[in-house]
């Protein structure tokens, strides 16, 4: 195993193109982390730290902002507006026929959809910036500002959100892996020492046996995450080649149990936090009826509540199916197989192949979606058992960190294989 890892890194260093991509990714990451420490004006740092240390909701939101919200930096909104805009655009693709046609136009159509997603991100950033200001103002973290300063703060946060999107897209285009996932991964890793420190301060008075049980279960969960991310269903493919003699070749079409990767978790968290944030935002209004409703809503969707976890599970499960249908196209796979003279043994090319692939994908995606949903909510039950508030945050973070690391590793390995084939063909 160690020799394989050593060989992987040696090949990575030897490849000029991959080395360049890794360097670009690291440079963009350094820029992102430097910008994450440039504070916005008018913030009470002590009150902000106290607010985040006592609120699992805001701590979880900070994880998905890439670690920028706890500092209330110019990148405080992180990638949340872009993620929400992506959800809106993908839903509209199923509703508006023109967008559906555009999504089938290859790279050109995808680029136009990405452009529309960026446009939608701007008003969402403005709205979320104002909501964040109002929320922190109600908690006395931000002093009352004049109209000019409020507009300046909102525009600063909006520009910061778009800079985060730009840096993420640069990583996707010129670096390694998915830029959005990678920046969230970097934020989680940067917050890891803080999370561990807060957990240890609470753990001191906790039953040591419970901690040992949790650590054992945590190792098992990481192992299961790796196993499920790497698990595939091998569908045999037979190719008939015509020449002077009829020859038959065979291979496999690997279908991953988790085709969607970590995206369903990111999408689900961006929506499951909305009721709590809305409740906290409206709890300070003058109308007693609205304030009472908002307070109950915030309690109902507290990260430790049963309602929150059920809603979270349903969102993760649904988004896994939804995003799998976006990234995997059985019609295109069946068409490419037919063009290359390939077929699944016992299945006719064309419509029957599409139906077969859909049936297989539905079954294996059910297992993948069930797994993601259970792992996403499992730390909340550990939290109630052990009494450590940061476990729910750490559980979601571990799921993302492990999935992103595996995704980047797969991407690099695939590119190394392509380089090997290119060098072989040149000979």
pTM across the whole model: 0.74
Rounded mean pLDDT, 124-147:
78
Domain positions in the chain = 1-200, 206-389
Tokens of 11: 């090949």
- Beta bridge pairs of residue 253: 235
Task: Yes or no: say if 69 and 188 are a contact pair by the CB < 8 Å rule.
Answer: no
| CATH of region 206-389 | 1.10.3370.10
Identical fold, 1-200 and 206-389: yes
CATH of 1-200, one of 1.10.260.40, 1.10.760.10, 1.10.287.130, 1.10.3370.10: 1.10.3370.10
Query: Per-residue pLDDT tens for 293-350?
Result: 777 777 777 777 788 888 888 988 988 888 888 778 788 888 888 777 778 888 888 8
DSSP string, 279-320: HHHHTTSS-HHHHHHHHHHHHHT-TTSHHHHHHHHHHHHHHH
Rounded mean pLDDT, 217-231:
78
- Of the candidates 93, 88, 33, the one whose C-alpha atom is nearest the C-alpha of residue 66 is 33
Weakest mean pLDDT among 38-52, 260-274, 352-366: 38-52
Largest CA distance in the chain: 86
């Amino acid at each position: 195993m160690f020799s394989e890892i050593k060989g992987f890194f040696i090949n990575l260093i030897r490849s000029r193109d991959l080395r360049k991509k890794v360097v670009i990714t690291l440079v963009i990451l350094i820029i992102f982390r430097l910008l994450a420490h440039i504070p916005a004006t008018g913030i009470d740092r002590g009150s902000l730290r106290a607010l985040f240390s006592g609120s699992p909701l805001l701590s979880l939101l900070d994880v998905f902002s890439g670690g920028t919200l706890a500092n209330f930096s110019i990148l405080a909104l992180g990638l949340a507006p872009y993620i929400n805009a992506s959800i809106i655009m993908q839903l509209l693709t199923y509703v508006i026929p023109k967008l559906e046609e555009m999504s089938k136009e290859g790279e050109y159509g995808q680029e136009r959809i990405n452009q529309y997603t960026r446009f939608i991100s701007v008003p969402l950033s403005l709205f979320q910036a104002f909501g964040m200001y109002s929320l922190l103002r109600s908690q006395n973290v931000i002093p009352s500002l004049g109209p000019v300063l409020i507009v300046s703060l909102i525009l600063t946060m909006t520009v910061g959100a778009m800079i985060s999107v730009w840096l993420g897209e640069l990583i996707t285009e010129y670096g390694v892996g998915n830029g959005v996932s990678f920046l969230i991964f970097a934020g989680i890793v940067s917050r890891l020492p803080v999370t561990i420190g807060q957990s240890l301060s609470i753990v001191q008075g906790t039953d040591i046996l419970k901690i040992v049980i949790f650590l054992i279960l945590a190792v098992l969960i990481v192992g299961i995450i790796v196993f499920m991310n790497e698990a595939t269903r091998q569908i045999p493919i037979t190719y008939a080649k015509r020449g002077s003699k009829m020859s038959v070749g065979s291979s496999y079409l690997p279908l991953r149990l988790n085709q969607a990767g970590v995206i369903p978790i990111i999408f689900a968290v961006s929506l499951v936090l909305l009721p709590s944030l809305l409740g906290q935002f409206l709890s300070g209004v003058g109308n007693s009826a609205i304030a009472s409703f908002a307070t109950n809503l915030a309690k109902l969707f507290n990260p430790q509540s049963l309602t929150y976890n059920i809603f979270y599970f349903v969102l993760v499960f649904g988004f896994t199916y939804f995003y799998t249908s976006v990234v995997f196209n059985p019609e295109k796979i069946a068409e490419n197989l037919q063009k290359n003279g390939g077929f699944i043994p016992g299945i006719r090319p064309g419509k029957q192949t599409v139906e077969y692939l859909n049936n297989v994908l539905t079954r294996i995606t059910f297992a993948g979606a069930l797994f993601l949903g259970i792992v996403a909510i499992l730390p909340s039950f550990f939290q109630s058992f052990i009494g450590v508030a940061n476990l729910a945050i750490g559980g979601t973070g571990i799921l993302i960190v492990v999935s992103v690391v595996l995704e980047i590793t797969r991407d690099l390995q695939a590119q190394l294989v392509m380089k090997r084939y290119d060098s072989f063909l040149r000979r």
